[in-house]
A and B are shown apart, each in its own frame.
Chain A
Amino acid sequence: MRVAGKGVIDRSKAVSFSFDGRRYSGFAGDTVASALLANGVSLMGRSFKYHRPRGVLSAGSEEPNALITTGTGAGQEPNVRATVQEIYEGLVTRSQNAWPSLDFDVMAVNDLAAPFLGAGFYYKTFMWPKRFWEAVYEPVIRKAAGLGALSGQNNPDTYERAYAFCDLLVIGAGPAGLMAALTAARAGADVILADEDSLMGGRLNAESGAVGHQSGAVWAAGIVAQLSAMDNVRLMSRTTVTGAYDGGMYGALERVNQHTGIRGAGAPLEAFWRISARHSILAAGALERPIAFRNNDRPGIMTAGAVRAYLNRWGVAPGKRVAVFGNNDDAHRTARDLAAAGVHVVALIDSRPDAVIEGATFPVFKGAQVCNSGGRKALESITIRTDSGEEALQVDCLAMSGGWNPTVHLTCHMNGRPSWREDIQAFVPTPGSIPDMTVAGACNGVFSTRACLSDGVEAARTALGALGRKAPAEMALPEAEDTPYALSPLWAVAGAGRAWLDFQNDVSVKDIKQAAAENFSSVEHMKRYTTQGMATDQGKNSNVAALAILADATGRGIPQTGTTTFRPPYAPVAIAAMGAGAQGHGFAPERHTTSHKRSVAMGAPMIEAGLWYRPSYFPKAGETTWQQSCDREVGYVRKAVGICDVSTLGKIDIQGPDAARLLDFVYTNMFSTLPVGRVRYGVMLREDGTVMDDGTTARLGAEHFVMTTTTAAAGNVMRHLEFVCQALHPEWEVSCTSVTEQWAQFAVAGPMARALLNGMLDKPIDNESWPFMACGDVQLGGVAGRLFRISFSGEHAYEIAVPSRYGAAAFDALLGRAEQMGGGAYGMEALNVLRIEKGFITHAEIEGRATAFDIGMARMISAKKDCIGKTMAARPGLVDALRPQLVGLKPVEPGGRLTAGAHLFEREAPAIRENSKGHVSSVCYSPELGMMIGLGFFAAGPARHAEVIRLVDHLRKVETEVEICHPVFLDPQGERARG
Chain B
Amino acid sequence: MRIECPMCGSRDRREFYYQGAAVMLARPDPQAHEADWEAYLHLRENPAGPTRELWQHDGGCGAWLVVTRDTVSHQISDTQLAADVKRAMGKAS
Contact = CB atoms under 8 A, between A and B. Distances in A.
Interface string B43-64: 0000000000010101000111
A722 interface: yes
Given A719-B58, A728-B27, A246 B1 contact: yes
Contacts of B27: 687, 728
A866 interface: yes
Given A246-B74, A688-B41, A726-B64, A871 B30 contact: yes
B85 to A, nearest CB: 8
B73 interface: yes
Interface string B5-28: 000001011000101000011011
Given A247-B74, A719-B56, A727-B24, A866 B30 contact: yes
A276 B76 CA distance: 15
A163 B11 CA distance: 12
A264 B74 CA distance: 40
Nearest to B28: A871
Interface in A13-28: none
Interface residues of B, number: 35
Contacts of B37: 871-872
A870 interface: yes
A414, A722, A728, A871 — which one has the most chain B CB atoms within 10 A of its CB?
Answer: A871
Nearest to A688: B41
B83 A247 contact: no
A688 to B, nearest CB: 6
A247 B2 contact: yes
A726 B82 contact: yes
A870 B30 contact: yes
A756 to B, nearest CB: 39
Given A727-B64, A872-B41, A722 B56 contact: yes
Contacts of A681: none
A731 interface: yes
Interface string A891-921: 0000000000000000000000000000000
A276 B2 contact: yes
Contacts of A420: none
Nearest to B90: A731
A71 interface: no
Contact of A726 (B28, B41, B76, B83): B83
Contacts of A870: 30
Nearest to A730: B83
A99 interface: no
Contacts of B75: 246-247, 435
A820 to B, nearest CB: 45
Interface string A863-878: 0001000111001000
A384 interface: no
A716 to B, nearest CB: 10
B2 A248 contact: yes
Nearest to A274: B12
B2 A249 contact: yes
A900 B7 CA distance: 47
A245 B12 CA distance: 12
A246 B70 CA distance: 11
A730 B82 CA distance: 9
Interface string A554-588: 00000000000000000000000000000000000
A248 B37 CA distance: 39
A435 B73 contact: yes
A358 B39 CA distance: 78
B41 A727 contact: no
A723 interface: yes
A731 B24 contact: no
Nearest to B76: A247
Contacts of B10: 276
Contacts of B87: 730-731
Contacts of A866: 30
Nearest to B86: A730
A872 B56 CA distance: 25
B64 A722 contact: yes
A723 B2 CA distance: 22
Contacts of A872: 37, 41
Contacts of A163: 12
Contacts of B41: 687-688, 872
A870 to B, nearest CB: 7
B25 to A, nearest CB: 5
Contacts of A728: 25, 27, 86
A635 B30 CA distance: 48
Contacts of A414: 73-74
Interface string A693-735: 0000000000000000000000100010011001111110000
Nearest to A248: B2
Contact of B83 (A246, A687, A727): A727
A398 to B, nearest CB: 46
Nearest to A875: B34
Contacts of A730: 82-84, 86-87
Contacts of A871: 28, 30, 32, 37
Nearest to B84: A730
B23 to A, nearest CB: 11
A727 B30 contact: no
Contacts of A249: 1-2
Interface string A273-307: 01010000000000000000000000000000000
Nearest to A727: B82
Nearest to B30: A866
Nearest to A435: B75
Contacts of B81: 726
A863 to B, nearest CB: 12
Interface string A391-411: 000000000000000000000
A734 to B, nearest CB: 12
7 contacts: A246-B75, A722-B56, A722-B62, A726-B82, A727-B64, A730-B86, A871-B28
Interface of B: 1-2, 10, 12-13, 17, 19, 24-25, 27-28, 30, 32, 34, 37, 40-41, 54, 56, 58, 62-64, 73-76, 81-87, 90
- 7 tightest A-B contacts by CB? A730-B83, A246-B1, A727-B82, A246-B74, A247-B2, A726-B64, A866-B30
Given A163-B12, A723-B24, A727-B24, 5 more contacts: A687-B41, A726-B83, A727-B85, A727-B86, A730-B82
